[in-house]
Amino acid sequence: MRKSVRSKPTTTSIFPLYILCSLYVRIPTVSSGAVIMNTMISRRGPLLALAAVAEFFALTCLAATAAASGHAADRIVRLPGQPVVDFDMYSGYVTVEESAGRSLFYLLQEAPAEAQPAPLVLWLNGRPGCSSVAYGASEELGAFRIRPRGAGLFLNEYRWNKVANILFLDSPAGVGFSYTNTTSDLYTSGDNRTAHDSYTFLTKWFEKFPHYKYRDFYIAGESYAGHYVPELSQLVHRRNKGVEKPIINFKGFMVGNGLIDDYHDYLGTFEFWWNHGLVSDDTYRLLNDSCLHDSFVHPSPACDAAFNVSTEEQGNIDMYSVYTPTCNDTPSSSSSSASRRRPKGRYPWMTGSYDPCTEQYSTAYYNRRDVQTALHANVTGAIRASAMVAYGW
Ligand SMILES: *[C@@H]1O[C@H](CO)[C@@H](O)[C@H](O)[C@H]1NC(C)=O
Ligand SMILES: *[C@@H]1O[C@H](CO)[C@@H](O)[C@H](O)[C@H]1NC(C)=O
Ligand SMILES: *[C@@H]1O[C@H](CO)[C@@H](O)[C@H](O)[C@H]1NC(C)=O
Ligand SMILES: *[C@@H]1O[C@H](CO)[C@@H](O)[C@H](O)[C@H]1NC(C)=O
Ligand SMILES: *[C@@H]1O[C@H](CO)[C@@H](O)[C@H](O)[C@H]1NC(C)=O
């Protein structure tokens, strides 16, 4: 259920994930506000085959200019504290809307040469507002895990780029290293623009990486990507319709732990809390009565109040890992006094498994200037990331 449990717009510390989902926002450039805007999922009708064909030729012509904006400059020579590896990485920006100054950040971790030509997989984290680079690439399926205090990287044994080229996209603008120079964009984000921006990103990205054109392509993600993934997939599918050999050779999509159905998501969450003894019978009933028919992104005040009651009752529990201690209690915490106090091996069941402090390591690592430089991120100091991005949904 990671990243599926909602956090509340008016508070800042209900779930640890909130902190990372506004990871690069130590210096917010936007003051908090409560601008709410509903955005509907795209109802765009299918394009005429003719239009799609025309677009195909237009894109083909654009290829001539690809050399000028090639991918070579985006190659990552080496990340600070990185072990020797047998695969290549690229990262950088693709501007998706010139007039607004909206630019999306990507990180590509390629498969090793002997696995090529491997498929290309786009990965999207959810919430909305979580960075795919900070979560997906650094704590989940990516090539590396981050060491305590952001001191360096080690290889993730379960990295997906053993068999596929994984393209992590920080989306929408305002998340992770992706930014917009138009502050109001942060309040008017939503499913539709996210899908269209992501589509624009893809078409421009393929011009930058022409050797990935026509490659088997998949879209994958988790949590709120239960919205992003099918919506972007629909757009790609529709634009591909009638095109004999589409550049974006879309083969399929995959969603893990998807937020798709608010009712059942709430139902399962509350039942989980209750049958793990985290909330009382009364609170379980209260949550049931107050939230079950609410929207996940726009809960009612009554549901908000019920969540407050349950949060209070749950106490200091890591919602995403109820069997491990919370970060501040663990020996691997970046708090060195905690590490000194607690003997190693106190939590043997944690060895080699989930480290509840992993979010702190990511925060530390990606805020390092040398890391940002190696990633070609924040080159102009123009990051306009904001925790507000989720609240304008
Ligand atoms: C979705 O976004 C696109 C691009 O920004 C826009 O052209 C279209 O009108 C939007 N559709 C809806 C239903 O808002
Ligand atoms: C955003 O503004 C910065 C600072 O003026 C500029 O360097 C950058 O190119 C702009 N980004 C886009 C996508 O226009
Ligand atoms: C919560 O709602 C579900 C679905 O209606 C029901 O099965 C369950 O018994 C309810 N639990 C409580 C304590 O109300
Ligand atoms: C829930 O708790 C937060 C933080 O304490 C508070 O700001 C908010 O008003 C509460 N909501 C309700 C409905 O009580
Ligand atoms: C981006 O870079 C500027 C310096 O160019 C720095 O002041 C700022 O803190 C950086 N932003 C983040 C979020 O690290």
User: Of all helices (H) and strands (E), which one includes residue 165?
Assistant: strand 165-170
What is the pLDDT, as a whole number, of residue 320? 80
Query: Which structure tokens are listed for 351?
Result: 């060895």
What is the pLDDT, as a whole number, of residue 326? 86
- Is any ligand 1 atom within 6 A of the Cβ of residue 40? yes
119 touches 251 (CB < 8 A): yes
384 touches 180 (CB < 8 A): yes
- Is any ligand 3 atom within 6 A of the Cβ of residue 320? no
What is the pLDDT, as a whole number, of residue 45? 28
What is the pLDDT, as a whole number, of residue 344? 37
Distance CA 77, CA 82 (A): 10
CA 216 to centroid of ligand 1, rounded, Å: 27
Nearest CA to ligand 5 atom 4: 381
- Is any ligand 5 atom within 6 A of the Cβ of residue 381? yes
- Is any ligand 1 atom within 6 A of the Cβ of residue 196? yes
Q: Which amino acid is at 119?
A: P
How do the pLDDT tens digits run along the chain, 393 residues long? Answer: 333 344 333 322 222 223 345 444 332 222 222 222 222 222 222 233 333 334 444 443 344 344 445 899 999 999 999 999 999 999 999 999 999 999 999 999 999 999 999 999 999 999 888 899 999 999 999 999 999 999 999 999 999 999 999 999 999 998 889 999 998 888 888 999 999 999 999 999 999 999 999 999 999 999 999 999 999 999 999 999 999 999 999 999 999 989 999 999 999 999 999 999 999 999 999 999 999 999 888 899 999 999 999 999 999 888 888 888 888 765 544 444 333 333 333 444 444 567 888 888 998 999 899 999 999 997 665 554 444 555 566
Nearest CA to ligand 5 atom 11: 381
Distance CA 166, CA 254 (A): 14
Nearest ligand 4 atom, CA 305: 13
Domains of the chain: 21-266+362-390 (3.40.50.1820)
What is the pLDDT, as a whole number, of residue 361? 92
Mutate which of 133, 378, 384 for ligand 5 pocket (most atoms within 8 A of beta carbon): 378
- Is any ligand 5 atom within 6 A of the Cβ of residue 179? no
- Is any ligand 3 atom within 6 A of the Cβ of residue 280? no
DSSP 172: S
Nearest CA to ligand 4 atom 14: 305
Nearest CA to ligand 2 atom 1: 181
- Is any ligand 4 atom within 6 A of the Cβ of residue 11? yes
- Is any ligand 4 atom within 6 A of the Cβ of residue 305? yes
- Is any ligand 3 atom within 6 A of the Cβ of residue 285? yes
Determine the Cα angle at 371 with ends 370 and 375, to 5°.
115
